[in-house]
């Protein structure tokens, strides 16, 4: 299940809910986390295209918005990618800035502990939303698929991927196996070249984010095929 962006009749309310969750989450955190989330909020409110899920902005412009140098931007954006909040959609090229995409679902999942603080109505909206007529996807997960079983690093990564999106896990991630984990690189094996290429193109950031929460030493995920 991919995360669709807030569009349609209920889009304004959902946008405010997302921004509210991030703001309240920040205020409950330490000063370093507060500053980090404020930077995300700044990017969302100044440059983010909700409809296309695109954040088209260069490192120099981000530095200007954040009042920092480009080295700080590089470090902070890398942190957001490791958290699974931001992924590179199209890398920068000559005469063209990078285009990023935001994973709003991961952001909301990471703020879940403060939903009751905002209010029971907010918690109910986030936890019990039904499939609407628009392409807005609710944040609550379906739990009708059997979770993976394993206590090693890869097993925990699989459990995290399943818990976040059981349907996506069932379609793609459950077919992967871990071949090697060394030197900051996790090498995964897919049963076909098509699956390896597709996951590498679409979902490497999500797999890397899950690894980062279990084994922060992993900085790169490589997906290969058995064929």
Checking if the pLDDT of 77 tops 90, the result is yes
DSSP letter for each residue of the chain = -------STTHHHHHHHHHHHHHHHHHTS-HHHHHHHHHHHHHHHHHEETTTTEEE--HHHHHHHHTS-HHHHHHHHHHHHHHTSEEEEE--BTTB--EEEE-HHHHHHHTGGGHHHH-HHHHHHHHHPPP-SSSPPPSSPP--SPPP---SHHHHHHHHHHHH-HHHHHHTGGG-EEEEEETTEEEEEESSHHHHHHHHHHTHHHHHHHHHHH-TT--EEEEEE--
Quote the pLDDT of residue 147: 56
Quote the pLDDT of residue 183: 92
More confidently predicted of 84 and 40: 40
Domains, the chain, in order of start with CATH, read 1-140 (1.10.10.10), 153-225 (3.30.300.180)
Quote the pLDDT of residue 148: 60
Checking if the pLDDT of 144 tops 80, the result is no
More confidently predicted of 85 and 135: 85
pLDDT band at 195 (very low <50, low <70, confident <90, very high): confident
Per-residue tokens: 107: 């952001």
Q: What is the pLDDT of residues 19-72, one digit of tens each?
A: 999 999 999 999 999 999 999 999 999 999 998 889 999 999 999 999 999 999
Considering the entire predicted model, what is its pTM? Answer: 0.62
Residue 18: CB atoms within 10 A of its CB come to 22
Tell me the average pLDDT of the chain: 83
CB contact at 8 A, 207 and 175? no
Q: What is the pLDDT of residues 196-206, one digit of tens each?
A: 888 888 888 88
* Percentage of the chain modeled with pLDDT above 90: 41
CA dist 188 and 205 (Å) reads 14
Checking if the pLDDT of 4 tops 50, the result is no
pLDDT band at 84 (very low <50, low <70, confident <90, very high): confident
CA dist 15 and 5 (Å) reads 9
Quick one: CA torsion of 16, 18, 20, 23, rounded to 10 degrees? -140
pLDDT band at 194 (very low <50, low <70, confident <90, very high): confident
More confidently predicted of 44 and 123: 44
Q: What is the pLDDT of residues 155-193, one digit of tens each?
A: 999 998 888 888 888 888 989 999 999 999 999 999 888
CA dist 188 and 210 (Å) reads 14
In this structure, the strands spanning 220-225 and 185-190 are parallel
Based on C-alpha coordinates, what's the Rg of the chain? 18
Residue 29: CB atoms within 10 A of its CB come to 14
**b/e burial code for range 80-109 (CB count within 10 A of at least 16 → b):** bbbbbbbbebeeeeeeebbbbbbbbbbbbb
Checking if the pLDDT of 1 tops 70, the result is no
């Amino acid at each position: 299940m991919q995360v669709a962006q807030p569009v349609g009749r209920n889009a304004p309310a959902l946008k405010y809910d997302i921004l509210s969750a991030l703001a309240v989450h920040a205020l409950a955190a330490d000063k370093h986390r507060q500053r980090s989330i404020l930077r995300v909020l700044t990017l969302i409110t100044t440059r983010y295209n909700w409809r296309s899920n695109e954040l088209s902005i260069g490192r120099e412009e981000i530095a200007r918005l954040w009042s920092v140098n480009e080295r700080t931007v590089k470090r902070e954006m890398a942190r957001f990618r490791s958290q699974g909040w931001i992924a590179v959609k199209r890398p920068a090229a000559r005469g063209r800035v990078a285009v990023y995409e935001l994973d709003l679902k991961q952001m909301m999942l990471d703020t879940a502990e403060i939903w009751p603080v905002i209010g029971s109505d907010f918690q109910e909206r986030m936890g019990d939303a039904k499939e609407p007529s628009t392409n807005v996807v609710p944040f609550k997960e379906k739990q009708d698929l059997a979770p993976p079983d394993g206590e090693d690093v890869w097993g925990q990564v699989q459990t995290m991927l399943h818990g976040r999106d059981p349907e996506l896990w069932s379609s793609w991630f459950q077919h992967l196996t871990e071949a090697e984990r060394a030197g900051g690189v996790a090498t995964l094996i897919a049963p076909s070249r098509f699956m390896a290429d597709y996951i590498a193109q679409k979902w490497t950031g999500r797999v890397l984010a899950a690894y980062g929460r279990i084994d922060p030493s992993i900085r790169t995920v490589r997906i290969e095929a058995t064929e």
